Amino acid sequence: MDKLIIVGGAVLNGDIRISGAKNSALPILAATLLTGEKMRISNLPHLHDITTMIELLGCMGVESSIDEKMTVEIDNSNISSYCAPYDLVKTMRASVLVLGPLLARFGAAEVSFPGGCAIGSRPVDQHLRGLEMMGAEVDISGGYIKAKTNGRLKGAHIIMDIVTVGGTENLLMAAALADGETIIENAAREPEVTDLANCLVAMGSEITGIGSDRLVIQGKEELHGCEYRIMPDRIETGTYLVAAAATRGRIKLRDTDAKLLESVLQKLEECGATIEISENTIELDMKGKKPLAVTIKTAPYPAFPTDMQAQFTALNSVAEGTSMVTETVFENRLIQTHELNRMGAKITLEGNTAMVTGVERLKGAPVMASDLRASASLVIAGLVAEGETVIDRIYHIDRGYECIEEKLQQLGGSIRRVPS
């Protein structure tokens, strides 16, 4: 298992390119199952999870070829299996996103039941409830979700009990080939859901309310192939902005979109950053100032994203003042605080809130990555800590950050990867 070694103290300065969004690439790759025609998806990020999704499609009979610019051509005309096996699903929960498309196009799907993970129990009841409302028979046995339908799925009026990104995506894809109109109320409004909906429209879907919490889909008998470019990764964008703010640096991010992360940019301004945006760039400059502590509370989009919470906790650890960080989306997503405390942070937990008192300096230490965004927070902490930080189990980081050490080196960070 590789490790990252970071020597803290460098002020990040420079510009880098932002990759395509992992969390819209995954559902969009699953959505290619909705057509037998060729699909061409560009701006895929070069990440383990993307490779896993392509491997999953491959074991169903999907043929694909990927070029050096991470554009994939997909041919779904010869699907021979409707199964997402345990071995792949256990490594990536997002595999459950093939359930809706398989069921809608082939009337059958078997997907290994995704378990919980480090950040919470993560049930999929909302995905299954919606599919049942559309006429699917769902049975859970042997650790698998076995779903089938007699003929096409039927349009339905679905009011989601809670806001779920994956649940909305699965039902949106299922509805695209259902018979009649489907209305999804209390839908997730995350930009990744919008990116998926835009891709479905490019495949011939008729969807209104895109970007709102009420999606109306007129199901089609079939969809066609298309070319689609994945949007920029708003969480990768936010992570580098926070890293620059924590080191009191200056950074320019290219190929991104400020409209995707307004709540995050507002918090960065509150912490003292000067931010300038153009159509596809964001510049942040701390002008050498120490960041001010900012209080945050995570909630579904457009509120502050749970996927940026850990990074802001690291920023608050070295900021001026005290702050409260409240996590409301996942039940166990403040785990990074224990590792941050090992580096000298002053964080106490009260239920789902972390009380953070900024310290003058963190101290480098050996630490352990526990999930993707928690790992990113340890990288940020390592960049501002005195001395050396060694981060173990960095496979978590590789799931969501393309070439993280190269990008940080380009910004002047002292970071290297070593095989353990």
Residues of the shown chain interacting with ligand EPZ in the complex, contacts defined by CB under 6 A? 23, 26, 94, 120, 122-127, 162, 164-167, 188, 190, 192, 306-307, 329-330, 372-373, 400
Alpha-carbon distance of 332 to 334, in angstroms, equals: 6
Contacts of 59 (CB under 8 A, 6+ apart): 81, 83, 85, 88
Residue of 351, 397, 361, 355 whose CA lies nearest to 381:
361
**Which runs of consecutive H residues, i.e. helices, occur in 76-219?**
86-89, 99-106, 125-133, 165-176, 191-202
Q: Which C-beta is closer to ligand EPZ: that of 89 or that of 293?
A: 89
Q: Which C-beta is closer to ligand EPZ: that of 252 or that of 373?
A: 373
What are the start-end ranges of the E strands in 60-103? 63-66, 72-75, 83-84
Q: Which C-beta is closer to ligand EPZ: that of 55 or that of 386?
A: 55
Closest separation between CB of residue 37 and ligand EPZ, Å? 25
Residue 59 annotated to the active site: no
Instruction: Write the single-letter amino acid at 201.
Output: V
Q: Which C-beta is closer to ligand EPZ: that of 10 or that of 210?
A: 210
Q: Which C-beta is closer to ligand EPZ: that of 202 or that of 303?
A: 303
CB-CB contact of 228 with 199 (8 Å): yes
Residue nearest to ligand EPZ (CB): 166
Closest separation between CB of residue 2 and ligand EPZ, Å? 19
Residue of 331, 245, 241, 259 whose CA lies nearest to 291:
245
Catalytic residue among 117, 199, 226, 403: 117
Closest separation between CB of residue 132 and ligand EPZ, Å? 12
Partners of 214 in beta bridges: 185
Alpha-carbon distance of 200 to 224, in angstroms, equals: 9
Closest separation between CB of residue 356 and ligand EPZ, Å? 20
Closest separation between CB of residue 120 and ligand EPZ, Å? 5
Residues taking part in catalysis: 117
